[in-house]
Structure 1
Amino acid sequence: MKSLTFVVAALVTRALAHGGVVSYTIDGTTYAGWQPYNSPTGQSTIERPYSSYDPILSVSAATFSCNNNGASGAGQKSATVRAGASITAKWSQWTHAQGPSIVYMAKCPSTCTSANSNSLSWFKIYEHGLLSGNLPNGAWGTGEVLKTLTVTSTIPASLAAGEYLIRHELLAVHQANTPQFYPECAQLIVTGGGGKTPAGQYLVKFPGGYSASDPSININIYSAEAANTTTYKVPGPPVWNGQ
């Protein structure tokens, strides 16, 4: 009876959770991701380990970079990918239709397995914010995830070869002035490319790259003003397009 109660409780917890990345398709090859509700023992994946599908509620949380303590996993792998290739992150589930979807990368100083994600400098390669309509009822990047459970982005073709973390983030803004962040990371070895790296204005640290007072984060999409607002600035630096 005790074991049955534990299983039921675990399933209920998972059902109430919001979502996380569980696999990646990179240039046509699919890689299994981390499974947070399975035992970590024996898991070997390109994704950094994380504990649950629940949100991070503070931009200053120590877990903000990759939804963990910043370290790689015991069975950590990296996927080799050519610069210019596409990468699709697949979510287990997702429940929120309002907010942006964002993808960042960060160059590791040597191997990514030895790098702490909190110490890296991140640059944005993709963002989908408010795509059409107004803030409360419009089409959002996270609404697209709700339909397909995927986000597909492209690694800049000019990016310098080397080891990188890629960070997929969903920001849910469906609760007034209570943002919910869902970041997960995976390790890549980028080949080819044009030897370019982004300049300082494109780089941020996590935590530290966002402010709780940012109007795109501390936002009430149900206010009277929001009903007449059809633009939204996605938090963070501008997208680096490889130039």
Structure 2
Amino acid sequence: MWMGTGNRYKRRRALTPSGLPSVIHSSLTTTTINKQRQTYARRPDIMRFDLLALSAFAPLVAAHGAVTSYIIGGTTYPGYEGFSPASSPKTIQFQWPNYDPTMTVSDAKMRCNGGTSAQLSATVQAGSNVTAIWKQWTHEQGPVQVWMFKCPGAFGSSCKGDGKGWFKIDEMGMWGGKLNSANWGTALIVKNLKWSSEIPRNLAPGNYLIRHELLALHQANTPQFYAECAQIVVQGSGSAVPPSDYLYSIPTYAPQNDPGVTVDIYSSKATTYTPPGGRVWSGFQF
């Protein structure tokens, strides 16, 4: 069982057939463990309390989420899941280590949740959809953003998303009401656990990274970013590329004090919201 403690996780083993924890904590001595077991034997109410306390952490773990697969051209491409070993099957997705959120815009983990490369890629026709799938998500307040990055060449070490080359192709912020309402893009993720975005119809073909980002705003002035990346090959006859004023670097696509990043949705009286990171580029060219 994976238990959350702040932004870290510790693995706790299952109870023994006698109902007693087989391992209380790896740093405890055998004597201490035996004393704890004796206490549980004398006071089962204490064990019940401990189990209830532990169960209270379960929603914290379940609340986090990440993209775990994609649907592209009618084909489902598996991604990773939290705590995947390095020997996991090859996928189109950058391998990410865990479900922990990124808390600052300048954190390197902001780009692809700590992932730096993938072994496979998926082909997508310009003008068609890429659908990202989440296994779990519970935060209703926050925007959804989808970004792309054109690789200078082949996938691999030369295509990690470095530099000012990220452009936004899709977003959904808030569409009415107050900031603490459920009228948000991430509320649609809670409901559907998927998000479909159209690749710009006249986008120039080539190798690209696609990045799905959820920004959870449910904790006042404490933004939580969840982003994953995958490798796609765009095909088509288009020639459009985004203008320079639509290009951003990730991390640091916005300052930490940007009103779309650091916000108290409970005390604010605002009825509008602008996601961080500039405008969506729909594929136009001059």
Matched-pair contact (CA < 8 Å) for 2:213–2:227? yes
Between the aligned partners of 1:174 and 1:14, the Cα distance in structure 2 is 14
Q: Which residue of 2 aligns with 1:111?
A: 154
Q: 1:158 and 2:199 equivalent?
A: no
Q: 1:230 and 2:271 equivalent?
A: yes
Residue identity matched to 1:177: N
**Deviation of 1:89 (Å):** 0.2
**Deviation of 1:138 (Å):** 4.0
Q: 1:72 and 2:72 equivalent?
A: no
Q: 1:34 and 2:80 equivalent?
A: yes
Residue identity matched to 1:109: P
Between the aligned partners of 2:233 and 2:14, the Cα distance in structure 1 is 38
Residue identity matched to 1:58: T
Task: Report the structure number with the largest CA radius of gyration.
Answer: 2
Matched-pair contact (CA < 8 Å) for 1:131–1:138? no
Identity %: 46
Alignment of 1:11-160 (within 5 A): 16-17=61-62, 18-68=64-114, 71-73=116-118, 76-114=119-157, 115-119=159-163, 121-160=165-204
Between the aligned partners of 1:138 and 1:34, the Cα distance in structure 2 is 28
What is the Cα-based RMSD across aligned positions, in Å? Answer: 2.1
Q: Which residue of 1 aligns with 2:256?
A: 212
TM-score normalised by length of structure 1: 0.90
Instruction: Point out which structure has higher relative CO (alpha carbons under 8 A, 6+ apart).
Output: 1
**Deviation of 1:143 (Å):** 0.4
Between the aligned partners of 2:237 and 2:259, the Cα distance in structure 1 is 36
**Deviation of 1:27 (Å):** 2.1
**Deviation of 1:207 (Å):** 0.9
- 1:14/1:143 Cα in 2 relative to 1: closer, same or farther (>3 Å)? closer
